[in-house]
């Protein structure tokens, strides 16, 4: 059963990608209302299309999947190890109201790892992590011919684990305190390949198949804690493996799912920055005095060494 949400509190217009001028055939966002591209060409997938068409649901060029709710969802490339240009696809939408600095906002969306589909040569053979929501104070609509944007290496709401569920819809949800009067929301993987982890969805991934394609549905931003689904607690973010939260971090972060393990943090030059025994389920670590940039957490435990990448931002 799909839980009910208070749509009146949702600051995201057209949260399920249902409102459109037409049932448009072909890849790209077509005639969907409100949403547009901030990088390359995300896709509007619709159940109204003939079965098996490029952008139809449930079967399309990238996957077989029913939408989480309604008859539509969006799809976007979230990792590219093929072109050498680290291409991504980012969705963008103007919020219905400007966020108030200092106020807490509750956010959620549903997502699914695409795999298979009806293509003769499917390109999305990988799953990846770092799918998230990023708020901005300015519009950054992307058009053909515009330069490819550099990786931003930040997100306000982040799913740090590899999204590998190709069957069900994974909920991503958390809250944050607005530090600016944000007016726009973007969704995508905003991190570079060096800061993104991947998983092969099939053995012997061909060179042309080194992409990750991800579905998005039911997007919500609300000032009301009851306005969005928030079943994903901080404790649940990491699943079974170790994790850090928030990511990116500024002054402090929490190491989770690592109790009793020896942990080491290395900078991107391989230099040891910190090491200790993790003695609690949510181990706090002060990082305010560390240099800004990317780091690697190594957790030594029974399964061996597990690695988590994180970023310290201004």
> In terms of domains, do 161 and 100 share one?
yes
Q: Which domain-ending residue is among 188, 222, 256?
A: 222
The answer, yes or no, to whether residue 225 has pLDDT greater than 50, is: yes
Predicted local confidence at residue 82, as pLDDT: 83
Distances (CA, A) of 191 to 122, 149, 294: 24, 11, 11
How far, in Å, CA of 32 to CA of 182, rounded? Answer: 23
Number of domains in the chain: 2
Q: How much of the chain, in percent, has pLDDT values that exceed 70?
A: 91
Q: Which domain-ending residue is among 201, 222, 243?
A: 222
Q: Which domain-ending residue is among 195, 222, 249?
A: 222
Mean pLDDT of 248-270: 85
Question: Highest-confidence range of 1-10, 198-207, 228-237, by mean pLDDT?
Answer: 198-207
Cut 0.75: pTM above it: no
Closest CA to 154 of 122, 186, 182: 186
- Residue 228 falls within a domain, yes or no? no
Predicted local confidence at residue 144, as pLDDT: 86
- Residue 229 falls within a domain, yes or no? no
> In terms of domains, do 164 and 17 share one?
yes
SS in 3 state form for the chain?
Answer: CCCCCCHHHCCCCCCCCCCECCCCCCCCCCCECCCEEEECCCEEEECCCCCCCCCECCECCCCECCCCCCCEEEEEEEEECCCCCCCCCEEEEECCCCCCCCCEEEEEEEEEECCCCCCCCCCECEEECCEEEEEECCCCCCCCCCCCCCCCCCCCEEECCCCCCCCCCEEEEEEEECCCCCCEEEEEECCCHHHCCEEECCCCCCHHHEEEEEEEEEEEEECCCCCCCCCCCHHHCCCCCCEEECCCECCEEEEECCCCCEEEEEECCCCEEEEEECCCCEEEEECCCCCCEEEEEEEEECCEEEEEEEEECC
The DSSP bridge pattern shows strands 304-312 and 293-301 to be: antiparallel
> In terms of domains, do 133 and 254 share one?
no
- Residue 283 falls within a domain, yes or no? yes
> In terms of domains, do 127 and 169 share one?
yes
| Owning domain of residue 94 | 7-222
Mean pLDDT of the chain: 86
Predicted local confidence at residue 232, as pLDDT: 43
Predicted local confidence at residue 303, as pLDDT: 63
* Per-residue pLDDT band at 4 (split at 50, 70, 90): very low
> In terms of domains, do 173 and 140 share one?
yes
Predicted local confidence at residue 302, as pLDDT: 65
* Per-residue pLDDT band at 243 (split at 50, 70, 90): confident
**Both tokens of residue 8?**
């009146």
CATH of the domain at 166: 2.60.120.260
pLDDT in tens, 200-221: 887 777 777 788 999 999 999 9
pLDDT in tens, 285-308: 989 899 988 888 889 876 667 778
- Residue 227 falls within a domain, yes or no? no
Contact 284, 252 (CB under 8 A): yes
Q: How much of the chain, in percent, has pLDDT values that exceed 90?
A: 47
Predicted local confidence at residue 121, as pLDDT: 60
Which of 66-75, 86-95, 290-299 is the least confident region?
Answer: 290-299
Predicted local confidence at residue 10, as pLDDT: 95
> In terms of domains, do 216 and 279 share one?
no
pLDDT in tens, 5-29: 444 489 999 999 999 999 988 889 9
């Amino acid at each position: 059963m799909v839980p009910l949400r208070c749509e009146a509190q949702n600051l995201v217009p057209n949260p399920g990608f249902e409102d459109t001028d037409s049932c448009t055939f072909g890849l790209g966002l077509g005639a969907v209302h409100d949403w547009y591209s901030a990088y390359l060409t995300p896709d509007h997938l619709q159940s109204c299309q003939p079965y098996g068409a490029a952008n139809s649901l449930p079967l399309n060029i990238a996957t077989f999947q029913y939408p989480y709710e309604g008859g539509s969802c969006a799809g976007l490339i979230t990792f590219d190890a093929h072109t050498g240009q680290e291409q991504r696809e980012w969705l963008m939408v103007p919020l219905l109201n400007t966020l108030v600095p200092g106020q807490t906002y509750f956010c959620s969306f549903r997502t699914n790892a695409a795999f298979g589909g009806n293509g003769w040569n499917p390109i999305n053979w990988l799953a990846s992590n770092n799918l998230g929501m990023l708020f901005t104070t300015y519009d950054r609509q992307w058009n053909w011919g515009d330069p490819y944007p550099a990786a931003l290496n930040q997100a306000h709401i982040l799913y740090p684990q590899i999204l590998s569920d190709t069957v069900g819809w994974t909920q991503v949800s958390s809250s944050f305190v607005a530090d600016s009067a944000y007016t726009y929301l973007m969704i995508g993987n905003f991190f570079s390949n060096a800061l993104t982890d991947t998983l092969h969805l099939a053995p012997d991934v061909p060179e042309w198949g080194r992409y990750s394609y991800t579905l998005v549905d039911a997007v919500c931003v609300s000032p009301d804690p009851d306005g969005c689904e928030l079943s994903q607690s901080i404790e649940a973010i990491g699943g079974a493996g170790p994790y850090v939260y928030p990511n990116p971090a500024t002054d402090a972060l929490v190491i989770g799912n690592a109790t009793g393990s020896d942990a080491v943090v290395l900078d991107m030059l391989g230099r040891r920055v910190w090491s200790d025994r993790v003695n609690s389920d949510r181990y706090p670590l002060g990082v305010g005095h560390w240099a800004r940039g990317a780091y690697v957490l190594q957790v030594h435990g029974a399964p061996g060494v597990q690695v988590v990448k994180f970023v310290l931002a201004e």
